[in-house]
Structure formats: structure tokens, C-alpha cells
Amino acid sequence: MSTTSFYDERRKDKVADRAEDRLDREADREADRKERAERAEEERKERAARAEEVRKERDAERRKAERRRAERKAAFAALRAKVEADTVGAVIVMACGIVPALYFQLYALNGQGLPAVISLCLAVMLEAGAWVATVSGERAKREGRPVGRFRAVMWACASFAALVNFTHAPPSPGGWLAWVLAVASFAGVFFWEVRGWGRAKASRSARTKAQRQEARRRRRHDRRRRRRFPKVHSRYMDILTAHPFGTIDNEKAWETAWRDEHGAELNTTARVVARRGYAGRALAAAHGVGVETLAVEQLLTDLFPPDGGDDGPAARRPRGGPNGGPNKGGRGVKTLGRKGKRATGRTSPKTPDKPLEAAHIAQVRALADILGGAAHLSVKNVRQAIGGGNFRYAMKLRDHVQAERKNR
């Protein structure tokens, strides 16, 4: 190997070493950079985690504060709902009335030479007694119990205290101070009563307009019943009182009372039944038949309606114009004389009359026997007896049976 090639090799080795050193340094720098980046990322995550914890703590504190504010507002609203403005005003008026009334009662009692303790006890007894009765009456009203006795005690105590103040008030021009002290004893209970008037009005107005109208109509209806049927109403009250409260319906009790007094269904009395009989006789006389005949005809009408029967619907008068002929008053035949055959809208004067059936003749004979003679037969009741049919056919049946009975 020559000297030149040796140095060339050495130079190449140095170049390679420097390149390796450079690569090593770059690798080290890259590793440091990655390590720093990882540390920075971990620090960032730690800061983010700490910030999230702080944020959650702040949110929790804020929610707690909001909850406390909401609780305070709810408590205040509940207190405000319990302590209304009129109640507060009534309490203030009561306090302003009690203080001067109590002072002048002590003044009056001490003026009689009583010990101070005795005077204080008597004065407090008068004022406190009225308020004990007032509070007890308010509780009884809330519980739905009678309050009359409590109000009587309340006004009696207030009246006695007012009398003491009025008769033992210090002298004043015209005696106006005595009246002021008497009013002071009444002021508290009076304005508490005024507060109660507002409560009663509010409870009444809680019902809808329709409910109030319905209640008024019911009261008016009950008054009319009581005035119009006093005996039935008395029995009605007996029934309601005898039964346990709420176990019997009022209208059911009224129906029972009506049956007990009149022996008939609701709205029926002996007078009504008598008038019905009189009306039936008058109707029979207007028809020119007996009551029994009219009853039989009505029975036949119920059993054989005019628009029913085997022969089809009954004949009816046309609304206008001729039907099968020029006569204006003619009857429009809806069915033919043959059983079960309906008219086709074409009538012919050449259509032969239907022969009388033996069964129909027997039915009309039986009808004549029921009516008391063939003279009471009419086309209407004959058609009802045979179940409808042609008008001329029913007329022939009537004439046939009348001729038979006449020839006997």
C-alpha cells in the first residue's frame, strides 16, 4: 500500500467517524427533544387535570350556593304564604290596640287601691282572654268545627275590657278619650274579624261560576219543593235524618217520600189519576164511542201499528195531485190487496178486487164482539185488526160483517 492511499484511508475513516458522531449527536438531540416533549405533555395533562378539578370544585360550590339560595327563597315563599299581609296588618293593629288598652286598665285598677300584681293579672286576663278565644276560633274554623261559641267569648271579653276603659278613662273635654280607649279594646278583635271576612270570600270565590250557579239552582229547586209539597218534603227530611249521613241519595229519598205520601210513582197523585179518567171519558165522548171502545181501539193501535202488519203499510193520503184517478181526495195505495205484493207505481182501474179471506172475516167478527156490535166497526180498526192492507178491502170486510149481523 502506498503512502497516499494510507492517508486517503485515514481521511475517509475520520470523515466516517465525524459522520457517525454527527448522527449520534442528532440521535441524542432527538431523544432529548422527545423526552422534553413527553415531559411537557405530562405537565400539560397534569395542569389540565388540576384545572378540571378546580373547575369541578367551583361548579360544586356554585351549585351548593344556588341550592342554598333556592332553599332560602322557598323558605321565604313558604313563610310569606303562611304570613299574609292582612295577617301582619291585623297583628300590628292588635298590638297597637292592646298596649294602650292594657295601660289604662292598669291605671283604672290601680286607682281602686289594688296591688300592682293583682291589677296586672286582671288587666292581662281581660285582654288575653279575648285573644285566646280569637286563636281558638281560628283553629276551629280551619278544622271545620263550629266557631260561634269562640266568637261569643271573644266579643264578651273585649266588651268587658272596653267597658272598664270607657268608665275609668281619665277626664277629657267631651269625654273623647273614653271613646278612644273603648274602641282600642275592640280594635284588635274587630280587625281580626275583618281579616276572616277576606278568607271567607276567597273560599267562596274558589268555586267556578258554573258551580255557584248550580248550587243556587239546587237551593231554589229545594225551596220550591218545600213550598209546593210540604208533606212530601217533611217525609223526605225524615228519610234523610233516619239514614246515616251520606248513605242515601237525595233524589232517591225524594222518590221514596213521594211514594209514601201518594202511593204512586213520582209526579203521580190521586188527583192526577182522576183527571186522567175524566180526560179519557171526554175523549171517548168526542169520538162518539164508549170508554171501553176507545180503550180497545187504543189497545189495537198499540198491538197493530198503522205502518206495520203482514199486508204492508197502511194507505196514506197523497200530498198533492191525483193517484190513479182525477179525484183530489183519493188515497194513494201503497200495497195491493194481495198479501205481500207491493205497488209498482202503476194503478189500473181494471185490477180486480181481492176476495175476502175467511181468516180476516173471523178476525173482524171477533173485533165486533169485543166492541159490542158491528155498528162500532170502522175501516181504521178493521185494518188494525187484520194487520193493515188495502182501504177498500178493509171497507168490504166491515160492510160484510155488518151485513151479516144485520141479517141475523
Q: List, for residues 308-351, the tens digit of each pLDDT value.
A: 444 444 434 433 333 433 343 334 433 433 444 444 434 444 44
Question: 372-397: per-residue pLDDT in tens?
Answer: 788 888 888 788 788 777 778 888 88
Give long-range contacts, CB 8 A cutoff, 24+ apart: 181-185. Answer: 181/100, 181/101, 181/104, 184/97, 184/100, 184/101, 185/97, 185/101, 185/127, 185/158, 185/161
Q: C-alpha distances in angstroms, 119 versus 109, 130, 133, 154, 157?
A: 5, 17, 22, 21, 16
Q: How far apart are CA 162 and CA 185, in angstroms?
A: 5
- pLDDT for the residue numbered 316: 41
165-224 pLDDT, tens digit per residue, is 788 777 778 788 888 888 887 877 787 777 777 555 545 545 677 887 888 899 999 999
pTM of the model: 0.35
Distance CA 296, CA 299 (A): 5
Q: What is the pLDDT of residue 221?
A: 92
Residue range 254-307, pLDDT digits in tens: 999 999 998 888 888 888 877 877 777 777 666 655 555 656 666 666 555 554
- Give 332's strand partners: 316
Tell me the C-alpha distance between 361 and 405, whole Å: 12
For cell 277629657, the residue is 172
Q: Which residue has the higher pLDDT, 163 or 4?
A: 163
**CA torsion sign, 266 to 272 to 274 to 275?**
negative
Check residue 56 and give its pLDDT: 92
pLDDT at residue 21 greater than cutoff 70: yes
